[in-house]
Each structure stands twice: as structure tokens, then as C-alpha cells.
Structure 1
Amino acid sequence: MTRAASKSVLVTGASSGIGRATALRLAAEGMQVFAACRKASDGEALASEAKPGTLTPVLMDVTSADSIAACRERIAAAADGGLDGLVNNAGVGTSGPMEALPLDTVRAAFEVNLFGQLAVIQAFLPLLHPRRGRIVNLGSVGARITIPFGGVLCGSKAAFESFSDALRLELHPLGLHVSIIRPGSIHTPAVAKTLGGVDEAIAGWPEAARTRYGAMFRSFTARAVAREEAGSPPEVVAEAILHALTAATPRTRYAVGKDARALSLLPRLLPDGLLDRIRLKMLGLPTAFGPAARSGEEETAASGGAAMGR
């Protein structure tokens, strides 16, 4: 293990959940932690919980080039021109049927989960090179096993993992490690943000999509929320991030939290047909082919008959 107390690390998305737990855990090790938040009040609250002098809140929006540049200038001055670690944790969750999600919503998620991450990496690599700093990127088991209604989150995380793999290979000859963290079910406030507001979400879909997917989406959300609320605490992810930043030989991937290893392994072992049935059953969706279409046709026919009888 390398000496933790002498290290300076930037953690993005530190307002809550995994980012918050990570910032506090690294600060507890005596690292100089720069905790990036979008709101000053979140940063101040976080700093009040850390050991004095170990955690510095900084403002940063990963979708704003100006915000990233300003944060970089501040950290470069405060950290004597160099960083020992960058933890890319900022992210958003979006759920819904691919047929009904507005493209602007999809693009906004990718701006945070993919392009914003790359923008931060490009901005801060010049501070990492002098110290051979390490990069830790937060992926998801969803990058390996996509779930229904999770195409945007899983797709953006899968793309980010591919970016991370390329980055790891490119930085290998230069002596910089890149690790990917794959959390499984983790109980954080993000669950409510990602999976809450079901009725409001459905109300924003076209009428046909509400008929086709409404009941399934409600079932999916109930099951998904239950799994996340029964998940591991974010501190288990923070421990994996600490290892990735300090171990003499960090792993390239860490599967952490409830069900993470099993869900990462299943796609390598099972054929698609069987894996599809497992995923559908796990989330309370029909496993037979076509029953939802027949239900929708019957509902439409019944509605039409009632209208003719009035």
C-alpha cells in the first residue's frame, strides 16, 4: 500500500451517496480531499463532517467547461500543481422505455455520465502526470447486464467503461493506473432521484406508450427500489476506491456491493434467452413472449366498444 496521508485527491459528485462516503473515507485516511459539489451548501455540510484541514469543498458542474476550468485552477494552486488521484463519481440516473424517452433527456444523461467524465479527465490529467496519479472511474454492473427501462443508464455506463479501458491502455506506458468500480445494489439517496416520481414520468409519455409500458414500468420500479433499498451501504464502495488509490497493484475492476459479482458474471455464463427470462422475472415483468401486446389490444378494443355504446 502507498502512503495515503501525503496524497491529494479530487472526488466528483461528492454531495451525497457514494461520492460523499468516499470523500469522508479518504479524508479519514488523512488525504487532502477536494470534494466537488454543484451547490456550495452541500460542500459546506460535507466539510463540517470531515477532520479539520482534510477536506476542501469545490464547486464544479461536469457539463460546464467553464466550471471545470475554474475548479482546475483552484485545485492546481491549492495542491502545489499536482494531484495523486481523480475519482470520477458524478452521474445521473434515468429510467423509462426506449420508445418513449425524449432524446433531450437521453442526451442530458450522456452529457453527465460520459462526456462530462471525459471533460474532467482531460482537464485534470496534466495535474496527474507529474505525480503518476491514479484515476478511479465509477461504472456500474449495468454496464455488463442491461435491464429493461435502464437502457440510458446502462448504455452510458457501458460507454464510459469502454472509454476507461482505452484510457487505461494509453496511460499504462506512462505509469498511471486506471481502475473501474462496478457497484451493485447500493442504498443511497440517488434511488429516490432515479426511480422516484413514477406517475409523473408516465404522465409525460405519449398515450400509446402509457398503455404499452405503464403497468410494466410500475412493476419494474417497485422491484428496483426494493432491491436498492436492501442494498449495501455506500461505504463498501468507498473502501474499494481507497484500495484502488493506495494499493501497490490496484485492480483494473472492482465489483462491490450486493449482487455485484453475480450480476457481472451471469452474462458470461448464460445464453441470452435464459438471461432475458431471469432479468424479466427478477423485475416482475412478463417472461412469455407477447402477453403485454395482447393485453394492450384487448384494452384498446374494450375502450373502443365502450365509446361506441355511449
Structure 2
Amino acid sequence: MDSTHRHALVTGASTGMGRAIALLLADRGFHVFVGVRRLEDGQALQRLARGQLTPVLIDVTRHDQIAGAARAVGEHVGQRGLDALVNNAGIGLAWPLEIVPLDRFRMQFEVNVDGQLAVTQTFLPLIRQATGRVIMIGSIADRLTPPFVGPLAATKHALLALCEALRLELAPWNIHVVLIEPGNIRTEAGGKFERDAAAALQQFDPAGRRLYADAFRAMTSRFAARHAGGSDPDVVAAVVMHAIETPKPRARYLVGKDARLFALAARLPPLVLDPLRRRIFGLPRRRGAGASTRI
């Protein structure tokens, strides 16, 4: 049992925001358990870390791996418990909702929602022992949904609801639940998004290509460009560090140079916001007269 360090678990830690969060926590004196799907990714992180970092195999869709990781972490921390759980693991899917394969849509929820809840449920006894904190890495897409990213945005809206409920349910034990809402963050996920979108386009049936190909290409190209110009993952790591250490964390943190702008835009009525989004993402205008949306 290690009683000399604070302890944290970061899921989805092999790249991007998860990696930046894990390395900063280790640098600040935490013993960090990094959830990875391949041990070699965890070993690569160990070589980069300036503090204590232990890889644990966690595919958030596999309950046996989650349970095994909890046993390993529990044996190490003992009665000290877990000071922070950072749920960062997630995947992104870009498809028009009219034609998205439902098995892929379900997988979005299995990873981004079911997986986060499964990890949280399993590790909450250790969190409770330390009066620790639960940090969820969401997205500004829980406020402002881009076209063709409906599957991903739907999971981020669901994650927001989980955080709202968990925050109230865990308050009697003084366990803070915090949602981080990044805007565009410059990570490897941007390139993967563009490659996955190109592969998805090849799988559209002829009718889907006729209806959506041009708009889908325009959106994914602009989305990838905005992602490439986004903030560094270290800014997310710094906000997570603050949310863990401050005595009174906020319920939600907007992170990144464009996040506040997007949050403000989300307050606009659809009559104003929809044409703005179509211009931003290169989508065609509405066809026919009198087609505006009034809410």
C-alpha cells in the first residue's frame, strides 16, 4: 500500500488530452494509473513521465478489464483510496444521421456514455474512501452541435446529464463531480477524425452520396482545419489539475480559445444560429421559400 502519494486514474491516456493530463498529474506528485488499451502505450508514457505512473489495461467496453483495473488500483492504494478519477476515454463518429449505421451509433454510446458510467460505478468505492473527485471530459458539443457530428454530440449531451445527476447524488459524501467542456483541441484525434470521415464517405450508398457527399466533405474539411488550429492539450490538463485541487470546483469548465465563443453562440435562437452554422461548415442553403425554423 502506498500512503505517501495522492492517487489518480486517467482513462484514455495513451494520446492527446488524456496523455497531457496524466503527465501533468504525475509531475505534480500524483501516482497516476493510466488506463490504456495496449500496455506498450502505457510503457511509452512511463518513459515520458517525471513522476510515478502505472499503466492499467482498460477498454471501457470490457467490464472484466474495468474490474481487474479496480482490483489492481485498490491493492495499491489500500484504505487511502483514489483522489481523482478522470474519465477521458472516448471515440468520435461523423455520419449523416439519416444513414448512419445503427451499430456504429450504438458503439458511440457504449464507449462515451456506458463506458464512463461503468468505470465510475466500479471506482466510486475507492473515490469515496478518499473523498475524491470525478472529472468527466466532455465537449462543447454538449452545447453547440455541428452538422454530421450528431452521434458524437448526442453522447456528450448524455454525459452532461450523467454529470448533473451524479453531482447531486454524490454531494452528501462531499464528492465533487466536474464536467470539462473543451472546444477545439489540437490532438491526434483531428487527423483520425478526417481519415475516419473519408472512410465513412466511401461507405455511403449511392443515395447517401447523392444527398450528402458534397456537404459532408465541406464540413469534415472545415472541422479538421478548426481542430488543427485549436488549443494545446496542456490547457485542458491545467484546468483538470485546478478542478482536482481547488477547494470549491465549478460544476463545468469551458476550455480552449474558442469554447466561450461557441457557448455564447449556442444561446442564439435557431433562426439566427442555423444559417450561421451552415456558413461556418460550408453547408447548402435551405431549398424552397419559407423554410426558416422559428422556436
TM-score (norm 2): 0.94
Structure 1: distance between partners of 2:251 and 2:21 = 18
Q: Is the 8 A contact 1:139 1:161 kept in 2?
A: yes
Structure 2: distance between partners of 1:169 and 1:199 = 41
Q: How far off is 1:115 after superposition?
A: 0.3
Structure 2 residue ranges without an equivalent (≥5): 289-295
Structure 2: distance between partners of 1:15 and 1:290 = 45
Aligned to 2:187: 188
* Backbone CA RMSD of aligned residues: 1.2
Aligned to 1:59: 57
- When Rg is computed on C-alpha atoms for both structures, the one with the higher figure is 1
Aligned length: 284
Q: Is the 8 A contact 1:186 1:228 kept in 2?
A: yes
Q: How far off is 1:197 after superposition?
A: 4.0
Q: Is the 8 A contact 2:113 2:159 kept in 1?
A: yes
Structure 2: distance between partners of 1:206 and 1:28 = 49
Q: 2:277 aligns with which of 276, 279, 283?
A: 279
1:89 is the counterpart of 2:65? no
Q: How far off is 1:89 after superposition?
A: 0.2
Structure 2: distance between partners of 1:211 and 1:56 = 50
User: Secondary structure, in 3 states, of the residue corresponding to 2:266?
Assistant: helix
Q: How far off is 1:144 after superposition?
A: 0.4
Structure 1 residue ranges without an equivalent (≥5): 292-310
Deviates more, 1:15-24 or 1:244-253: 244-253
Q: Is the 8 A contact 2:193 2:224 kept in 1?
A: no
Aligned to 1:111: 110
Which runs of 4 or more aligned residues in structure 1 lie more than 2 Å from their structure 2 counterparts after TM superposition?
A: 197-200
Q: 1:80 aligns with which of 71, 74, 78?
A: 78
Aligned pairs for 1:70-219 (under 5 A) are 70-81=68-79, 82-219=81-218
Q: Is the 8 A contact 2:95 2:197 kept in 1?
A: no
Q: Is the 8 A contact 1:187 1:228 kept in 2?
A: yes
Aligned to 2:266: 267
Q: Give the aligned residue type for 1:290.
A: R
Structure 1: distance between partners of 2:119 and 2:107 = 16
Q: Is the 8 A contact 1:93 1:193 kept in 2?
A: no
Q: How far off is 1:194 after superposition?
A: 2.1
Q: Is the 8 A contact 1:143 1:155 kept in 2?
A: yes
Aligned to 2:292: none
Q: Give the aligned residue type for 1:274.
A: V
Aligned pairs for 1:19-34 (under 5 A) are 19-34=18-33
Q: Give the aligned residue type for 1:217.
A: F
